[in-house]
Amino acid sequence: MAQRQPLMAGNWKMNLDHIEATGLVQKLAWSLADLRHDPARCETAVLVPFTDLRTVQLLIEGERYPIRWGAQDVSVHQVGAYTGEVSAPMLAKLNCAYVVVGHSERREYHGETDQLVNAKAKQALGHGIQPIICVGEKLAVRQSGDQVAFVLGQVDGVLAGLQPDEAANVILAYEPVWAIGTGQVATPADAQEVCGAIRSRVAELFSAQLAQSLRILYGGSAKASNIVDLMAQPDVDGALVGGASLQAEEFARMVAFQTLA
Ligand code: 13P
């Protein structure tokens, strides 16, 4: 079976200016060093506001920290008269490894559809950036027990038209909306149910081999105290972490989850 390197990705959302970003990234690097973290065992990434990207890039490259970085959104357009947008080529120039697309907050507050998310993912892939594509059901869907069917519908939409070589560079993040920022983490079994179903669907859409190497993250109130049980699930390959990623020591402990068990 393909070995999937775990990934802990901190989604800072709209927190921390570029000065504060410097402090947090430094503290994170020191905390990882204190824990003697071996980057081969789990990758670390920070997904920061656009205004922090250049600072974070120069700091990490200059200090050779074992941390990758990325943005939280990308335009569907490549260049032109699109006021306020940031393009994939611009992010690629900043050596972004990742970009979040289709976060539930963007779906909710900016009306983003699976079709738009799909177009954004294609832009990122076309410029060598791995999209972290978010899917996840709201509370009403969970309460009706339709979470698997709902999320698989999103997966079909966000992956539509991708070539296998593109799909191989995608990361999917299952973020149940009712668990985001609420302190109400999904149970490990809830996370596994949906992440496992996503992997099976990717196998149907592409191939079993591709599905086995694809990383699937869980997101929603993940923190150091629940990460070990989540990571014990066979189809959970990491976490997309909001609040807890703003605390350097807490996030470093999540990255080093193998030592917490
Ligand atoms: P919290 O970890 O704060 O619940 O946020 C999850 C999230 O939305 C990450 O993208």
Domain ranges in the chain?
A: 7-259
List, in sequence order, every residue forming a beta bridge with 45; answer none if it has no partner: 9, 68
Q: Rounded to whole angstroms, how far apart are CA atoms 49 and 89?
A: 17
How far does the centroid of ligand 1 lie from the alpha carbon of residue 222, in Å? Answer: 7
Write down the residue that tokens 């600072």 correspond to.
Answer: 55
Task: With 0.95 as the threshold, say if the pTM is over it.
Answer: yes
Q: Do 244 and 234 contact (CB within 8 A), yes or no?
A: no
> Which of 91, 14, 94, 85 has its CA nearest to residue 54?
94
Mutate to test the pocket of ligand 1, among 13, 180, 247 (most ligand atoms within 8 A of CB): 180
Instruction: Kindly state if the Cβ of 181 falls inside 6 Å of ligand 1.
Output: yes
How far does the centroid of ligand 1 lie from the alpha carbon of residue 51, in Å? Answer: 20
How much is the pLDDT for 2?
53
Q: Which residues are within 8 A (CB) of 61 and not within 5 positions of it... i.e. 6 or more apart?
A: 95
Q: Do 207 and 165 contact (CB within 8 A), yes or no?
A: no
Looking at the CA of residue 179, tell me the nearest atom of ligand 1.
4
Active site residue 103: yes
How far does the centroid of ligand 1 lie from the alpha carbon of residue 228, in Å? Answer: 17
Q: Provide block-wise average pLDDT over 10 residues at a time, the chain (261 residues).
A: 86 98 98 97 98 98 98 98 98 98 98 98 98 97 96 98 98 96 92 98 98 98 97 98 98 95 71
The CATH class for the domain spanning 7-259 reads: alpha beta
Of 43, 105, 112, 175, which is the active-site residue? 175
Q: Rounded to whole angstroms, how far apart are CA atoms 124 and 178?
A: 28
